[in-house]
Structure 1
Amino acid sequence: MTTHHPRTSILSTTFIAVLSVLAALSFLTGCGGEGENADPKEVLAASSAKMKTIKGFHFEYEVHLPEGVKPGGGLFIKRIIGDVNAEGEMKATVDANYGNLPVSLGFVALGDVHYIQDPVNQKWQEIAAADSPVGSLNLSAGTIRILDHITDASYKGTQRKAGVDTYHITGKIAAEEVEAIAGAVNTTNTFPTDLWIGVENSLVYEVKIAGSATPNEHKDIWRSIVLSNLDTHVNIEAPQ
Structure 2
Amino acid sequence: MVVALSALLMLAACGGSSAPDARQLLAASQAAMQKVHSYHFNLKVEHPGSGATLVIQSADGDLLVPDRLQANAGALVLGSLVQVKIIVVGGQQYMTDPITGRWQTINGLPDPRVLSDSRTGIAALLGQIRNPSTPSESSIDGVACWNITGKLDAAYLRGLLGDQTRAGSLLDAAVWIGKNDQLPHQIRLTGVAADGDTSQTVRTLKLSKFNETITISAPAV
TM-score after normalising by structure 2: 0.82
Matched, 1:45 2:27: yes
For residues 56-81 of structure 1, give each alpha carbon's deviation from its aligned partner in whole angstroms, at most 9, with x where no partner exists: 1111111012xxxx864854321011
| Corresponding residue SS for 2:28 | helix
* Contact 1:155–1:167 (8 Å) recurs in 2: no
Separation in 2, partners of 1:233, 1:146: 25
* Root mean square deviation of aligned Cα: 2.7
CA pair 87-192 structure 1, distance change in 2 beyond 3 A: same
Structure 1 counterpart of 2:108, from 133, 144, 166: 133
Structure 1 residue 155: deviation in Å?
2.2
- 1:67-146 residue pairs with structure 2 within 5 A? 72=50, 74-99=53-78, 101-127=80-106, 132-134=107-109, 136=111, 139-141=115-117, 142-146=121-125
Q: 1:216 corresponds to which residue?
A: 196
* Contact 2:49–2:194 (8 Å) recurs in 1: no
Structure 1 residue 187: deviation in Å?
4.7
For residues 14-48 of structure 1, give each alpha carbon's deviation from its aligned partner in whole angstroms, at most 9, with x where no partner exists: xxx9xx89x959x83xx69xx41211111111111
For residues 80-124 of structure 1, give each alpha carbon's deviation from its aligned partner in whole angstroms, at most 9, with x where no partner exists: 110001223100112023355321111001111111111211111
CA pair 108-44 structure 1, distance change in 2 beyond 3 A: same
For residues 147-180 of structure 1, give each alpha carbon's deviation from its aligned partner in whole angstroms, at most 9, with x where no partner exists: 1222211223111112221111112111321222
Separation in 2, partners of 1:96, 1:102: 6
Aligned AA for 2:210?
A: L
* Identity between Structure 1 and Structure 2 (%): 26
- 1:9-88 residue pairs with structure 2 within 5 A? 24=10, 28=14, 35-65=17-47, 72=50, 74-88=53-67
Aligned AA for 1:76?
A: V
Structure 1 residue 197: deviation in Å?
0.5
| Corresponding residue SS for 1:49 | helix
**Stretch deviating more after TM superposition (148-157 or 135-144):** 135-144
Unmatched segments (≥5 aa) in structure 1: 1-16
Q: 1:169 corresponds to which residue?
A: 148
* Contact 1:173–1:192 (8 Å) recurs in 2: yes
Separation in 2, partners of 1:100, 1:226: 25
Separation in 2, partners of 1:178, 1:117: 24
* Contact 1:57–1:233 (8 Å) recurs in 2: no
* Contact 2:166–2:192 (8 Å) recurs in 1: no
TM-score after normalising by structure 1: 0.76
Q: 1:7 corresponds to which residue?
A: none
Number of aligned pairs?
Answer: 208
| Corresponding residue SS for 2:133 | strand
Q: 1:3 corresponds to which residue?
A: none
CA pair 63-135 structure 1, distance change in 2 beyond 3 A: same
* Contact 2:21–2:135 (8 Å) recurs in 1: no
Separation in 2, partners of 1:133, 1:165: 35
Larger radius of gyration: 1
CA pair 159-140 structure 1, distance change in 2 beyond 3 A: farther
| Corresponding residue SS for 2:135 | strand
Separation in 1, partners of 2:65, 2:198: 33
Q: 1:193 corresponds to which residue?
A: 173
Separation in 2, partners of 1:172, 1:57: 25
Separation in 2, partners of 1:55, 1:215: 31
